[in-house]
Amino acid sequence: MAYRGKNAVVTGGAGGIGLQVARQLLSNGAAKVAIIDLQDNLEEFVKLRAAHPTQSVMIIKMDVANRKGIEATYEEIVKTFGSIDIVVNVAGIFNDKDVQRTLLVNLGGIMNSTLSALQYMNKENGGNGGLIVNMSSVVGLDPMFIIPVYGATKAGIINFTRCLGNDQFYQRSGIKFVTVCPGATMTDMFTNFTEKIIFPETSDETYKILDRLNKQSATDVARCILSVLDKEKNGAVYVIEGKRVFPLELKQQWTGKEHA
Ligand SMILES: NC(=O)c1ccc[n+]([C@@H]2O[C@H](COP(=O)([O-])OP(=O)(O)OC[C@H]3O[C@@H](n4cnc5c(N)ncnc54)[C@H](O)[C@@H]3O)[C@@H](O)[C@H]2O)c1
């Protein structure tokens, strides 16, 4: 398994999908796991440490939108762990009414964490290389008209991660990049959902759509993310739906040729 004996960082690891990813990494033999999150979840962190007494669990309270703070956080993690092999960027929010914050956390946060991590993971800088997994969503692929702001940040994450998941960059850095796009998952993210959408007149339709969706658990999604870590396919984009994970066939749209 790609994560056995490895050092990992999980953003958004205090709750929801991120907490399950951190838990499963430890259960499956990761040596050291650092959790970066805005929130404390002391009860879960105590349980996590108690369940894995021989592994290191580091908790850092930090906002992924804070670029300087995230840079300092990675410096601290590398000082403590020695190196980083895996990063799973999960932290994200849903609040389409707060456009700035959604951009800064969902898109900015992924960029801050990815770009800080790769300084230390890059083989050219003395790192070990490794794998960075970024959390998008199925709504970053297929537009969902009720959540355009959130959807746009998730679409941006796919493009950002695919740009980095380029084999020329891999030859130099030894780092692979993968995007995961889960479908609806039962977590706290969509609490008070209709208060956070920009078109309240669509709330009835929104409820109907949400009711119809087949929802998976955070544990299922985390299990699929760990299977993606094992595949290590650079630049790949995976959909995680109905507890299953499958890669997308993405073909180049832009040829660069002139049309008559
Ligand atoms: N729940 C779903 O249906 C679903 C589907 C597809 C993708 N996602 C994505 O999965 C990720 C996790 O979502 P979830 O459903 O587990 O939500 P969640 O709200 O249960 O967990 C999100 C975690 O991220 C943390 N976080 C939020 N903002 C942060 C910040 N600025 N800095 C650091 N940590 C921060 C939270 O404190 C929380 O621990 C998000 O990126 C979300 O967009 C969720």
pLDDT tens, position by position, 158-192: 999 999 999 999 999 999 999 999 999 999 987 88
pTM greater than 0.85: yes
Quote the mean pLDDT of the chain.
Answer: 94
Q: Does residue 118 have a pLDDT over 90?
A: yes
The answer to whether 37 and 16 have CB atoms below 8 angstroms apart is no
Closest residue by CA, ligand 1 atom 31: 63
Model pLDDT, residue 219:
97
- Mutational test site, ligand 1, from 187, 209, 214, 216, max ligand atoms within 8 Å of CB: 187
Give me the percent of the chain exceeding a pLDDT of 90. 82
Sorting pLDDT into bands at 50, 70 and 90, what band is 1? low
Q: Partners of 217 in the beta sheet?
A: 186
Measured over the CA atoms of residue 88, residue 181, residue 226 and residue 2, the dihedral's sign is negative
Q: Does residue 156 have a pLDDT over 90?
A: yes
Q: Does residue 49 have a pLDDT over 90?
A: yes
CA distance 163 to 140: 16
Domains of the chain: 7-247 (3.40.50.720)
The stretch 80-98 carries a mean pLDDT of 97
pLDDT tens, position by position, 58-78: 999 999 999 999 999 999 999
Cα 235–239–243 angle (5° rounding)?
135
Sorting pLDDT into bands at 50, 70 and 90, what band is 134? very high
Distance from chain centroid for Cα 220: 15
Ligand 1 close to Cβ of residue 103 (< 6 A):
no
